[in-house]
Each structure stands twice: as structure tokens, then as C-alpha cells.
Amino acid sequence: MSTPLNIHPNLNRNAAADGFAGGKLLCNCASDKVEVTVASQSFHNHACGCTKCWKPAGALFAQIAVAPRDKVTVTANGDKLAVVDPSATILRHACTVCGTHMYGRIEKPHAFNGLDFIHTELSEEAGWTPVSFAAFVSSIIESGTRPEDMEAVRATFVELDIPHYDCLSPALMDALSTYAAKTSGVLQ
């Protein structure tokens, strides 16, 4: 590829600030912005290539993290929010005017129930955790990236020193399998 890849326009590579306790996420509307207050640092911040996570215009990847559900509160213009796909595991609450996803929540039994999915670049505060891995890299083909461009995409993550996977990170895949093993009774 001759042009630099737009992995994400605001990929956070800064170190998390000590004692950082969260901030406000704002949608992209010019006025009456939806505001979500996150009273917690973010965790597991990563680049995600899946077709469901919200990506800024032109970006190949979403930037997505989690925060405890009880720390995530809609604090302004919540009437503009609607769930994008009520049948999805993660119920992504998006602004119906600008399309920005403000938070994703899991209501059914799941390893990640209790964690809300958030896009920290919607916050003006600095200090959130940086992107520590890339997930579902191969999935960007499903949203239009040409298969022959994948080598350059993966090389970009190597350059950025960001571990990249075609599923979630080993720690999160282990969490999903641990939950499944406990649910089935294999693991006591």
C-alpha cells in the first residue's frame, strides 16, 4: 500500500495516568451531545477489527475498552440513545443522530457481563489506559479491506509494538473459556 494505513485516528499510545478516575464521553453531535460519565479508569483497551464495534470515519479499527457497568452512567441527552442491534450479545447504545456508539452492555449471562464497552477517544480527558493489543484483525476483510493488504496491516501493528490477534487476547480468550468451563461444570 502506498498510503499510510488509518488504523485509528486517535489510537491512544500514551501511558495511563496514575490515579486516573475516568471522565465524560461525548457523542459527535454539534449540539445536545449525549454524555456518558465513566467513573473509573478503562481496562483492556484495544483496537478491534470486528464488524460490530463503532469505528470513526475511515478507520480500519475501533478503539474499545471496558469499565465496570456500575461506573457507567448516561448523564445528558440519553433520549437520543437507541440499541443498534437488540439481538447482539453486546447491546451497543448509539446516538441516533450522529451514530456514535456511547456504551455497550451485556444483559445475558456471559463472561463479560458486568463490564461496559466504551470508546475512550470520545473523552477530552487524558489518562485513560493505552491500546495494549489488537483483536479480530482478520475481520477487517469483512468490512472491505483487501486480503492482500493484511500483511501491511499486521506489519503496522508490529511497528507500533502492539500485539495483534485474530480473536481476542490470550487473557480474554482464557476468561471466556474459564467461564464456559465453569458453566458446563468441567471446571469447579
Residues in touch with Zn ion (CB under 5 A): 27, 29, 48, 50, 53, 95, 97-98
Clarify whether 50 is annotated catalytic.
yes
CA atoms within 13 A on the CB side of 173: 9
DSSP per-residue string spanning 54-89: ---TT-SSEEEEEEEGGGEEEEE-GGGEEES-TTSS
Q: Is 53 a catalytic residue?
A: yes
- For Zn ion, the closer CB: 20 or 176: 176
3-state class of 135 per DSSP? strand
Given 27, 29, 53, 98, the catalytic residue: 53
Smallest gap from residue 164 Cβ to Zn ion (A) = 14
Question: Based on CB atoms, which residue is closest to Zn ion, 127 or 165?
Answer: 165
Does 27 participate in catalysis according to the annotation? no
Closer CB to Zn ion, residue 72 or residue 172? 172
Please report how close the Cβ of residue 48 comes to Zn ion at its closest, in angstroms.
Answer: 3
Q: Name the strand (E) or helix (H) holding 115.
A: strand 115-118
Q: Angle at Cα 90 formed by Cα 37 and Cα 36, nearest 5°?
A: 10
Active site amino acids: 48, 50, 53
